[in-house]
Structure 1
Amino acid sequence: MAILNKLVKLEWRKLKQKSILGEVAIYWFILMLLPVFFIKMVSADFGQNFDSLFELIQSIQRGLVLFGASMISQVFIEEYKNKTITLSFGYPISRRKLFAAKVLFIALFIFMTTIASFLLTGVATYLLNQMFPIIYFSITGSNIVSYFSGMIVGSFIVTLISFIPLFFFAIWKRATVSTVICAIIAMNLPNLSSIFHFNNELIIVILCSIGALSLFLSIKTADRIGEI
């Protein structure tokens, strides 16, 4: 466990930290303003009750799946292209542990980023509502509790869906563009489910399952697929 912890910290030190934090800030700024935009410009129905508002916020937060693709690209694909992963393969540890550390680092970063995004979006929506009334229901204590519990579940969902492109597009094919396209499709599928009359929850379960499978295969086959 101590080795895994050191490897996770090493992954952070290897990245362009200022660039990543700047990217995160941009995502936060955009996502925290989108609920108000959608309610004002698309449909006021989103502000009629808590369930509709939270469903809107949760669907917006899935935009961070695209940030997940960016993290996967920097942690895996760029290391392959720059040949810096060769140094990592020289460590006196198994490649499975190395890949597990990389995956854990990405998962923690995406999860915490999404948690913060939910919080910022909730606060921003509440404050903007004071200036431009868009919420037509009273916020209760139970609403706040539901928001926090949904925030945890929603962040976990975003994290799992983010890993869908990991095994095939990132580790096997090492294709940045394909990884990003896959992420865009994955994050939009639940939002399109109503158009095609699919069960939204079922779509999310399937996407999370594919993400979990991608995670498993990435670590399980690290000794073979992980070769340069």
Structure 2
Amino acid sequence: MLKLMKLEIKKYKITGYIRNVIIANLIISGILFMVIFASKADMEVPFSTYNDAVLLTGTIVRATFSIFAAVIISRIIIGEYKSKTINIMFLYPINRKKIMIAKLAIVVLFAFTSMVISSIFANFSLYILNIFVNFIQVPLTQEILVKSLINIVVYSAAFSFVSLIPVYVGMRRKSGSATIVTSVILVSLLNSGNSKNSLGTIIIIPLILAIIGAVAAYLSIKDVEKVDVLNF
């Protein structure tokens, strides 16, 4: 399985997305900084505690990289079916399901890693900014730090599997665009409202959707041994 994943990563140059992740992080941090400075000038800071900061940054980061995951799905799964290049891989003496699971695992790992690292980077950036601007009066304690890290890991794990839901739609519609649009709709629904009261912050909802994502991924590949690629 790991060898298959390495081959896929090398084949599609997934490591090249690291540059895109870095750019996205810089943009996210830049937007947060502008919001803080603008709010500070109006005496209306968007959050006053580190818990609120984690909620806000988490919402933005998860939305961003859920869509990133959909783009990768569109490229390494839907795109291969549409171009029929998946036939080449299916000629290998390897179970088709293993090939598809390897692809899905890449998507999940990319989404999870990107969300965790980006959330930590965004919050660290805010911590450094707070030293100079002092928009959060509450001190950062070890308890808050540990709770925030647990929050980041749990939500990132859940949303990385939620990112698999578009796979089912993309395979059914035979469209990469449908995959990305489905992801955008999911992100919009989960993050509508403010960061404190959005559906995505109610942990049970992302967990339920994560299970749905895993089931959707399974349903997308369960008949891969029987389905003729030429009919895609």
Same-fold call, TM cutoff 0.5: yes
**3-state SS of paired residue (2:180):** helix
Q: What corresponds to 1:8 in structure 2?
A: 5
The aligned residue for residue 208 of structure 1 is: 210
Deviates most, 217-226 or 35-44: 35-44
Partner of 1:125: 126
Q: What is the match of residue 186 of structure 1?
A: 186
> Taking every aligned residue pair, what percent have the same amino acid on both sides?
28
Give the letter for the 1:137 counterpart: V
CA deviation profile, 1:171-218 (whole Å, cap 9, x unmatched) = 2323122111111111121222669x8855254344323212212212
2: CA distance, partners of 1:25 / 1:198? 26
Query: 1:152-171 maps to which residues of 2 (within 5 A)?
Result: 152-169=153-170, 171=171
Q: Whole-Å Cα distance in 2 between the matches of residues 153 and 85 of structure 1?
A: 33
2:57 is matched with: 57
The whole-number CA distance in structure 1 between the counterparts of 2:35 and 2:223 is 43
Unpaired runs of 5+ residues, structure 2, are: none
Residue identity in the other structure for 2:57: I
Query: Could you say what the CA RMSD is over the residues aligned between the two structures, in angstroms?
Result: 2.5
Report the number of matched residues. Answer: 223
Q: CA deviation at 1:28?
A: 1.9
Q: For 1:30-179, list aligned pairs within 5 A.
A: 30-41=27-38, 44=44, 46-62=46-62, 63-169=64-170, 171-179=171-179
User: 22, 25, 31: which is aligned to 1:28?
Assistant: 25
CA contact (8 A) 1:172 1:225 kept: no
Distance 1:226-1:161 versus aligned 2 partners, 3 A rule: farther
- In 2: Cα distance, 1:212 partner to 1:38 partner: 36
Instruction: Please report the TM-score for the alignment, with normalisation by the length of structure 2.
Output: 0.84
Alpha-carbon distance between aligned partners in 2 of 1:173 and 1:40, rounded to the nearest angstrom: 44
What runs of 5+ residues in structure 1 fail to find an aligned partner? none
What SS does structure 1 have at the residue aligned with 2:165? coil
1:10 Cα deviation after fit: 0.6
Residues 45 and 135, structure 2, Cα contact 8 Å, conserved in 1? no
